[in-house]
A and B are shown apart, each in its own frame.
Chain A
């Protein structure tokens, strides 16, 4: 028997064969086990390729993309000084909101800014694993864009941001109790019943302007509520925050891990086809940038479970 060539199977799969040839291929496939098997393998491969080669980072990513090629869009109207002033004050305002310390009356100028040693806890003392999603790098990038020439302020603000956000991250846990996130990350987090850190967001579930703060708040809510919907919301918040982490590969991987864990947790609480698809996409996105280790191994088991 003459078998189908791979060109014929390819064109058939891609709907590029003329109608007459389509009928011939169908006829052959109905009677040839070998070609049917090969066709099945290629179809399966195409599905896997579609999962592996397609990624949609979402609108927040593209909202800033052109800027990353060309720099910021020129300001069209007046009041540039006001904008610059507001931008300078923004990182500190975020840090103050999280730390719950009395804010200074005015945003400090570069020369007035306190030195890093004034911070309550030096960044070097932060546990390494807990440092993964601190959001410090994006903050640095944001500040650098605004005040590139002012190196001193950049350092001070970065230190403030690290200190401000650090305590939130260890409290995040998305997976249900029996499907905990990776051991390393879990170990870096305080026990579930430990009292909340006084440095943690003091105003309850924050709906602030910082996507990282929002994501952290949603994670805490998901942890408390334990519902699929809450984990959905946490995943969505982390997806929104992801562009904040793009400056640093480790942080980005950690962010993608949080999304994957939240999506998986939502699916494991209340399984729906949509949650399964979302979880599979999130886990795959994480696996593609995940460093080797227990977290990555665990994610593979999530993927296997989702595919069952």
Chain B
């Protein structure tokens, strides 16, 4: 069983964060730089888990913070910065995936049929193909679980839903990946 990591190290001290956010809302770019420095690693890791590509993850993470800066004045009083920022990452990731699909890249439903036997390497190849089929919310939950090893409660806080929804999304994501990468597993519900 995988132990969950505490989310405490993930968060900036709330009072400090509030101060930085307020300053950034007043146009203080250096205050926003402090916010970036605190959250750049988890945002990059999430972006990487969503894109599976360093260049794309870098671009997505940069775009996420850029969008956050543009919209910082709209961050409601009392709302934490990080979950608010993650919504941009999610939405931008969806937009990018759609753009790729429109450009003719491999999209949902285009995954190759799994072969009966699979080596670890083949499993990874199939997983890479199948990950694109997950719904954005499943991808987000899986990314935070695998990338940050957060508890269901922490993931729920970040994604603004309940722990039960986190479990449901993780389970459905795992079920779909199993279906795509294995044969003969049977009913996975």
Say yes or no: B119 contacts A304, CB within 8 Å: yes
B20 interface residue (CB < 8 Å to A): no
Q: Mostly helix, strand, loop or mixed at chain B's interface? A: helix
- Cα A48 to Cα B119 in complex, Å, equals 11
Within 8 Å CB of B143, what residues of A?
A: 53
| Cβ proximity bits A8-51 to B, threshold 8 Å, 1 near / 0 not | 00111111100000000000000000100010011011101111
Say yes or no: A44 contacts B123, CB within 8 Å: yes
A194 interface residue (CB < 8 Å to B): no
Say yes or no: A53 contacts B146, CB within 8 Å: yes
Within 8 Å CB of A152, what residues of B?
A: none
Among A50, A53, A289, the most chain B Cβ lie within 10 Å of the Cβ of A53
- Cα A256 to Cα B55 in complex, Å, equals 12
A residues 46-84 touching B (CB-CB < 8 Å):
46, 48-57, 61-62, 65-66, 68-70, 73-74
A side interface size, CB within 8 A = 48
Binding site for A on B (CB under 8 A): 1-4, 29-30, 32-33, 36-37, 40-41, 44-45, 48-49, 52-55, 57-58, 61-62, 65-66, 69, 119-121, 123-124, 127-128, 131, 142-143, 145-147, 151-152, 163, 167-168, 170-171, 174-175, 177-178, 181-182, 185-186, 188-189
Binding site for B on A (CB under 8 A): 5-7, 10-16, 34, 38, 41-42, 44-46, 48-57, 61-62, 65-66, 68-70, 73-74, 246, 249, 252, 256, 284-285, 288-289, 300, 303-304, 307
Identify 7 residue pairs between A and B in the complex whose beta-carbon atoms are under 8 Å apart, listed by A's number: A14-B2, A49-B127, A70-B29, A73-B33, A288-B54, A289-B54, A307-B121
